[in-house]
Chain A
Amino acid sequence: MSVLVIAEHDNATLAGVTLSAITAAVQLGDDVRVLVAGHGCRAVAEAAARVQGVGLVRHSEAAHYARPTAEDLAALVTDLAVDFTYVLAPATTFGKNFLPRVAAILDVAMISDLIRIDAPDRFVRPIYAGNAVATVQSMDPIKVISVRATAFDAAPSGATAAPIEVLEAKPHSDLADVLAEQLTQSERPELTAAEIVVAGGRGMGSADGFRLLEAIADRLGAAIGASRAAVDAGYVPNDYQVGQTGKIVAPKLYIAVGISGAIQHLAGMQDSKVVVAINKDEAAPIFQVADYALVADLFQILPELETELSRVLAK
C-alpha cells in the first residue's frame, strides 16, 4: 500500500507533527513517500529522507510555496495523490486548511483527526469534542486523512537516507495570496511539542496574572497554554488556546491553573499523561480529569510552587 505524507515545516526544520503522521503512514503501508513543498527547504527534504520508514521524498521548490496557500498546495498534492492509496497530513491548521480541498478535488471523503488505525479501511476519530469516538470505514479508493499528532509517536531517524526526487512546482493560482504572517515569538517550546504545559484560564484574572505562570514555565522548561476564556479576555494571544478548536496537546505533564474545565477545553488536553489542576472552586469540572487536585487560591499557590520547584529542581 502506498502512502503519501505531506510534510509540515517552516522551510528550515521538519515539524514534529510530520513525524507523527509518518508513524501513522508506516502503520498503513510499506511504501511511504513524503512531499516537501517549500522555498529554500532542501534541508527539510533531507531531514524527511532520514526518517525511518520513508522510502522516497519528493521535493518541490517555488517562491509561492514558502507559505503555500491551500489553493496552490492542493493543486500540487492532487496531481500526486492519484497514484496513492492514502494521503496523510498532520491535523493542524496547516493540514486542515488544504487537505479537504484535496479530498474534494479527488471526489473522496476525508477522515479528520485520525487517532487509531483498526484495519486498512477502518479508522478511529474523536467526535463531539472527544466526548465520543467513532470508528469509520472508508469506501473510497484514495483515503485522505488528517492525523492527530498526539495519538502517534514521532517516527525515529533511520539508518539510511531515502532518495530525494525533484517535483516540478505548479504555477501560482491567483485565487489567493498570502499578504502577511504575524507569528508569536517565544523562547519557550512549541505548545504541541512541549513535554510540560502550564495553562491558565479566566481565573488568572489578567495578562499580569499570566506572569505568575511564566515564572513556573521558566522553571520547568514548559510551554504556556490557555483556555478560550483567557484568550477571549485578552490575557494571551489566540495561538495559546488549547481545546476542541484550538490546539490539541498531550504532554507528559499538564498543569491547569484557574481553568474551570469546559468540555471544549478538556477536548484539547485530556490525553495528557499527568494532569494537575489548581483551582479554588472545588466543583470545577477540571478536577474530574485531574490526577492531582489542589483546591486553593492560585495567587497564593503559584509563588509557593515557584519557590518549591526552584528548591527541589536545584538539587
Chain B
Amino acid sequence: MVLVRRRGPLRERCAAHQLRSRRVRASAERAPTAQRGILMKVLVPVKRVIDYNVKVRVKADGSGVETANVKMSMNPFDELAVEEAIRLKEAGRVESIVAVSIGAPACRETLRTALAMGADRALLVTTEAELQPLDVAKVLKAIVAQETPALVIMGKQAIDDDCNQTGQMLAALLGWGQGTFACGVALAEDSVTVTREIDGGNQTVRLKLPAVVTADLRLNEPRYIKLPSIMKAKQKPLQSMTVQELGVEVAVRLKTLQVSEPPPRRSGVKVSSVAELVDKLRNEVKVL
C-alpha cells in the first residue's frame, strides 16, 4: 500500500534520481522506524548573506553596504531550517531534502554547505538582479511546482534585509498554511504541528500538509560540518537554472534610493559608583 502510493511522484523524476531514491527508500524500509507513513520530500531555501559576525559598512556613495572582500555565509536562520530538515530525515519522516538558493553563482558555496550538513541535492537559480521577497517567493513557487515537496522549511528572516516576509509570501502564493517563527516542529502523516514564538510566549498551530514553516532561533542547534561531509557534498548533485528558465517574471517594486549609517549615539560617561549613577539618572537626565 505504502509502496504503491510512493511510486506515483517518483516515476516523473529523472532516472538517476530514481535510482538514488530507491536506495533511500530501501534503507528507510530496513530501518526499524515506528513511522509507517509516507516519506516526504522537504525543500529548504537558503540565502547567502554577509556573515553575522561581520560589522557591515555602508558604502560612501549611499548605494548599499560594502560586500567586496567581505565574508559571506548561509543566513543563520536558514541553517536552522536545514538542520531541522535533516533531523526530520534522521527521525525517519523525510525521504529527501532539496536545498535551493537564488542569486549569483557564488550561492553555490551556500548550497555546498547545505549539502555538507546533510541535504541530498541542491538547486541553484541564478539571476543578476537583486530579488525582493515577493520575487523570491515566486521563484520558490515555481520550484515547488517542479519538486512537489510536502514541506518547505526556511529561515524566518534573512539577516541582511531583515524583511521577514518570504516564507509567508510563498505560503500565500501556494495557498498553503504557514507556521512562522517555529521553535518546534512535529511531523505527522498529513499535518505538521508547529510551536511558534510569539510576543507573549508560545503558540501551537496545526497545519495541513503541504505547508511552509519558518525557523526561529531556538528551533535547534545546527551541527558542525565535518571534513568528510564536505568531501562527500562535492559528489552530491547540484543543478543550475536561471530565473528566466523557470518562467518567473520579476519586477522592481521597491527601489532603494539610499542606504545610510544610522545616527550615532552620543558618547557616554563612566560613573564610578552606584550613588553617582543614581544621582545622574535622577538629576542629570531625570529618568527616575
Decide: A129 near B162, CB < 8 A? Known: A93-B197, A135-B257: yes
Q: Give A111 to B258 CA distance when docked, in angstroms.
A: 15
**Interface residue? B275 (CB, 8 A):** yes
Q: Which of B8-16, B113-121, B143-151, B172-180 contacts A (4 or more CB under 8 A)?
A: B172-180
**B256 touching A104 by the CB < 8 A rule?**
no
- List of B residues within 8 angstroms of A305 by Cβ: 274, 277-278
With both chains docked as a complex, state the minimum distance between the C-beta of B79 and any C-beta of chain A, in angstroms: 14
Residue of B199, B253, B273 touching A93 (CB-CB under 8 A): B199
With both chains docked as a complex, state the minimum distance between the C-beta of B130 and any C-beta of chain A, in angstroms: 12
**A181 touching B262 by the CB < 8 A rule?**
no
With both chains docked as a complex, state the minimum distance between the C-beta of B159 and any C-beta of chain A, in angstroms: 7
**A136 touching B65 by the CB < 8 A rule?**
no
Q: Give A237 to B180 CA distance when docked, in angstroms.
A: 18
**B165 touching A183 by the CB < 8 A rule?**
no
**Interface residue? A107 (CB, 8 A):** yes
**B165 touching A129 by the CB < 8 A rule?**
no
Q: Give A301 to B277 CA distance when docked, in angstroms.
A: 11
**Interface residue? B152 (CB, 8 A):** no
Decide: A122 near B165, CB < 8 A? Known: A93-B181, A178-B203, A232-B218: no
**A238 touching B52 by the CB < 8 A rule?**
no
**Interface residue? A66 (CB, 8 A):** no
- List of B residues within 8 angstroms of A126 by Cβ: 162, 262
Main DSSP-derived SS at the B contact region: mixed
Which residues from 271 to 314 on chain A have a C-beta closer than 8 Å to any C-beta of chain B?
273-276, 287-295, 301, 304-305, 308-309, 312-313
Cross-chain pairs A/B with CB under 8 angstroms, 17 sampled: A93-B198, A96-B164, A105-B172, A126-B262, A131-B262, A132-B262, A133-B261, A138-B254, A175-B208, A176-B179, A179-B193, A239-B200, A245-B156, A247-B199, A289-B265, A290-B268, A292-B268
**Interface residue? B7 (CB, 8 A):** no
How would residues 193 to 214 of chain A score, 1 for a CB under 8 Å from any chain B CB and 0 otherwise? 0001000000000000000000
Q: Give A140 to B211 CA distance when docked, in angstroms.
A: 28
**B172 touching A100 by the CB < 8 A rule?**
yes
**A294 touching B271 by the CB < 8 A rule?**
yes
Decide: A176 near B178, CB < 8 A? Known: A105-B172, A126-B162, A136-B257: yes
Contact-residue size bin, chain A (C-beta under 8 Å from the other chain): 35 or more
**B258 touching A309 by the CB < 8 A rule?**
no
Decide: A127 near B254, CB < 8 A? Known: A70-B168, A237-B201, A289-B265: no
**Interface residue? A187 (CB, 8 A):** no
Decide: A112 near B287, CB < 8 A? Known: A132-B259, A177-B205, A292-B271: no
- List of A residues within 8 angstroms of B208 by Cβ: 174-176
**Interface residue? A84 (CB, 8 A):** no
Residue of B175, B181, B217, B257 touching A122 (CB-CB under 8 A): B257
**Interface residue? B270 (CB, 8 A):** yes
- List of B residues within 8 angstroms of A247 by Cβ: 199
Which of B132, B183, B202 has the largest count of A CB atoms less than 10 A from its CB?
B202
**Interface residue? A167 (CB, 8 A):** no
Count residues of B near A (Cβ-Cβ below 8 Å): 83
**Interface residue? A260 (CB, 8 A):** no
**A113 touching B178 by the CB < 8 A rule?**
no
**Interface residue? B161 (CB, 8 A):** yes
**A112 touching B281 by the CB < 8 A rule?**
no
Decide: A136 near B254, CB < 8 A? Known: A105-B172, A110-B163, A131-B56: yes
Decide: A135 near B275, CB < 8 A? Known: A127-B160, A175-B207: no
**Interface residue? B137 (CB, 8 A):** yes
Q: Give A253 to B286 CA distance when docked, in angstroms.
A: 10
**B257 touching A137 by the CB < 8 A rule?**
yes
> Which residues does B use to contact A, with CB under 8 Å?
50, 52, 55-56, 58, 65, 77, 132-134, 137, 156-157, 159-173, 175-181, 183, 193, 196-208, 211, 216-218, 252-262, 265-266, 268-275, 277-278, 280-282, 285, 287-288
Decide: A270 near B265, CB < 8 A? Known: A139-B254, A237-B201, A276-B281: yes
Q: Which 10 A-B pairs have the closest CB atoms?
A: A175-B177, A100-B168, A104-B169, A109-B253, A104-B172, A100-B165, A176-B177, A183-B201, A101-B172, A183-B200
Decide: A112 near B254, CB < 8 A? Known: A220-B288, A264-B52, A292-B269: no
**A136 touching B256 by the CB < 8 A rule?**
yes
- List of A residues within 8 angstroms of B183 by Cβ: 238
Q: Give A178 to B132 CA distance when docked, in angstroms.
A: 30
With both chains docked as a complex, state the minimum distance between the C-beta of B279 and any C-beta of chain A, in angstroms: 8
- List of B residues within 8 angstroms of A287 by Cβ: 268
Which of B171, B207, B268 has the largest count of A CB atoms less than 10 A from its CB?
B268
**Interface residue? A71 (CB, 8 A):** yes
Q: Give A290 to B161 CA distance when docked, in angstroms.
A: 26
Decide: A184 near B287, CB < 8 A? Known: A71-B178, A131-B56: no
- List of A residues within 8 angstroms of B277 by Cβ: 276, 292, 294, 305
- List of B residues within 8 angstroms of A295 by Cβ: 270
Q: Give A109 to B132 CA distance when docked, in angstroms.
A: 8
With both chains docked as a complex, state the minimum distance between the C-beta of B157 and any C-beta of chain A, in angstroms: 7
Q: Give A248 to B254 CA distance when docked, in angstroms.
A: 24
With both chains docked as a complex, state the minimum distance between the C-beta of A315 and any C-beta of chain B, in angstroms: 10
Q: Beyond the given A69-B205, A97-B181, A239-B201, could you list 12 further A-B residue pairs with CB under 8 A, ordered by the A residue number?
A: A92-B199, A93-B198, A104-B169, A112-B162, A175-B208, A245-B77, A263-B55, A291-B269, A293-B269, A305-B274, A309-B288, A312-B288
